[in-house]
Amino acid sequence: MKFLSRFIENAGKFFEKGQPLEKLYPLYEAFDSFLFGSNQTTKQAPHIRDSIDLKRIMTTVLIALIPCTFMALWNTGYQANQLIAELGTGVPGGWRGSIMTAVGCDPHSVLSNLTYGALYFLPIYVVTMVVGSFWEGVFNLVRGHEFSEAFLVTGLLFSLSLPPDIPLWQVAVGISFGLVFAKEVFGGVGRNFMNPALASRAFLYFAYPAQMTGDTVWNAVDGVSSATPLGQIAAAAPGQPLDTLSFSWVQSFLGTIPGSMGETSTLACLFGAAVLLVTRIAPWRVIAAGLLGAILCSCFFYFSTNDANPLWAIPPHHHLVYGGFAFGLVFMATDPVSAAHTAMGQWIYGILVGVLAIMIRVANPAYPEGIMLAILLGNIFAPLFDFFVIQANIKRRILRNG
């Protein structure tokens, strides 16, 4: 590695300002920092020593996402293998079927479930990273900006938020829209006013609803219906008790249910939340306020009466494990760029996200994944919350100082 480090360091002079490869410096810097990190130091005061930088922040988030990624692989394969076993259809066709013939479609086999899930998740992830890296490279080379590790997190979050059976060309279109129109046109990393991964998913949700909603998109078995818990409740008869549905609270908490690949397991999200909170990467006020807002709003609906809408009868503790609420609150609402930054602003922002997530989910069954729209709306209002908080602090200081 020392030889490679010296080679890359010596090659760096060709990418310096005024040299033939000057315009390709962002590519060189990205490759160098990805392998060896940065050895740059400040030349003049102030000199600040801190172990946290953008690379370490994004690496920590990636580590926190490992449990959700594991569940994306395992549960996608588990749901498919379980349906294959119940229907007796045997090994699926196509190139995936040739691989699964050797492994076997056994829902009790961890290897079989992980392999089947990987055959759906990895193509989506690869397309996301290739297309996203292209757009990142184009804008960074034009502007002369350095490559950022932030896209590694954006790409993984976007991939985990998708159903397994989505067409790959739509994956490419979705990540292109999110990166270009929600991030790069505003200046790139640190200047986006909303979460790019959520913007990408929202674009697909409204542009191609047939591939993002319905009962047949949540599993990796073609043409087989497999509704999510929220879909089942929305279609349930008025007054039908929740314990008569196909999925229990425990199953929803563990994540052994149909849904977006990485969003089904609240337990996996809790492991990720612990990592982000212990390392102080995620603001705890946003998560606490989001939970508070969701519980208060769900209690209002639960203790109200609306026989025509079965979603009103969902208990508050069920709302916390259904859909992508936990995933969105832990990994997307806490985005350090698009979330509120002041302490009071984070409380207001989190409560707004929690309330809107449940309100959209219950009051408008057409959008059961209310957390997506709630976070995007919260991103829009976050700068306004910080502005009013800062102005209030300035006024208090003026009055206190006479």
Distance CA 96, CA 111 (A): 15
Neighbours of 36 (CB within 10 A): 13
Neighbours of 353 (CB within 10 A): 32
Residues 6+ apart with CB under 8 A from 376: 194, 195, 198, 199, 202
Joined tokens for residue 124: 């989506």
Give the amino acid at 162.
L
Q: Is 228 left (phi over 0), alpha (psi -120 to 50) or beta?
A: beta
> What's the residue count for the chain?
402
Domain ranges of the chain: 1-38, 53-226, 230-402
Name residues whose C-beta falls within 8 Å of residue 402's C-beta, 6 or more positions apart in sequence.
none
Kindly report the backbone phi and psi dihedral angles of residue 135, in degrees, each rounded to the nearest multiple of 5, phi listed first.
Answer: -65, -40
Whole-number Å distance between alpha carbons of 299 and 354: 12
Distance CA 377, CA 367 (A): 14
Residue 12 near residue 32 (C-beta atoms within 8 A): yes
CA–CA gap between residue 350 and residue 232 (Å, rounded): 28
Longest alpha-carbon distance in the chain: 80
Amino acid letter, 292: L
Local structure of residue 220 (DSSP, 8 states): S
Q: What is the pLDDT of residue 1?
A: 59
Cβ proximity of 72 and 122 under 8 Å: no
Cα–Cα distances (Å) from 229 to 158, 258, 376, 400, in that order, read: 22, 8, 23, 54
Give CA angle at 331 (137, 352), nearest 5°: 115
What does the pLDDT profile of the chain (402 residues) look like in tens digits?
Answer: 566 666 666 666 666 666 666 566 665 565 566 555 555 555 554 445 555 667 788 889 999 999 999 999 999 999 999 988 888 777 777 888 889 888 988 999 999 999 999 999 999 999 999 999 999 988 888 887 777 778 899 999 999 999 998 999 999 999 999 999 999 988 888 888 899 999 999 999 999 987 787 777 777 777 676 778 887 877 776 666 666 677 889 999 999 998 899 999 999 999 999 999 999 999 999 999 999 999 999 999 999 877 778 888 889 999 999 989 999 999 999 998 999 999 999 999 999 999 999 999 998 877 777 899 999 999 999 999 999 999 999 999 988 886
Residue 316 C-alpha from the chain's centroid: 23
Radius of gyration of the chain (CA): 23
How many angstroms separate the CA atoms of 298 and 362, rounded?
9
Tokens of 362: 């219950």
Between CA 69 and CA 155 the distance in angstroms is 12
Query: What DSSP letter does each residue of 142-197 carry, written as one string?
Result: HHTPPP-THHHHHHHHHHHTS-TT--HHHHHHHHHHHHHHHTGGGTSTTT-SS-HH
